[in-house]
């Protein structure tokens, strides 16, 4: 999986550089998020700008990250959801669980 990370304003921004977040690559995202929390990085933002498709495995990896954040007294925010991905969050009602922002800049300020 092609993931890049950078630290901006004490937040680790994880950019997923894939069009799909599914069973084939969601495990890598889950491991990356867990590793960052274990290293003491407590403020994470996942930028989903390039993700055009997400399945239950991808959603599961994000939910796992959210649980990890809660356990570690941290935060996990999402930004830049594409229309199909946004509709999956609404369909599963996960948009009520996650803090979702239109852009990375909005998430860093919010």
**Confidence grade of residue 1 (pLDDT, cut at 50, 70, 90):** confident
3-state secondary structure of 97: coil
pLDDT in tens, 5-26: 999 999 999 999 999 999 999 9
How far from 6 is each of 41, 45, 54, 59, 83, CA to CA, in Å?
12, 10, 23, 22, 25
Residues 83 and 39: their CA atoms lie apart, in Å, by 33
Strands 99-101, 75-79: pairing is parallel
Domain that holds residue 35: 3-109
Q: Please, what is the Cα angle at 26 between 70 and 31, to 5 degrees?
A: 55
pTM of the model: 0.95
What is residue 47's DSSP assignment? E
Structural domain count of the chain: 1
- CATH code of the domain containing 105: 3.30.750.24
């Amino acid at each position: 999986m092609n993931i890049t990370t950078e630290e901006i304003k004490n937040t680790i921004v994880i950019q997923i550089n894939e069009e799909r977040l599914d069973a084939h690559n969601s495990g890598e995202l889950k491991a990356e998020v867990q590793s960052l929390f274990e290293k003491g990085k407590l403020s994470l933002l996942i930028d989903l700008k390039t993700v055009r498709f997400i399945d239950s495995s991808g959603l599961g990896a994000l939910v796992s990250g959210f649980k990890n954040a809660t356990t570690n007294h941290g935060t996990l925010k999402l930004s830049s959801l594409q229309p199909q991905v946004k509709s999956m969050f609404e369909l599963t009602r996960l948009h009520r669980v996650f803090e979702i922002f239109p852009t990375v800049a909005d998430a860093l300020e919010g």
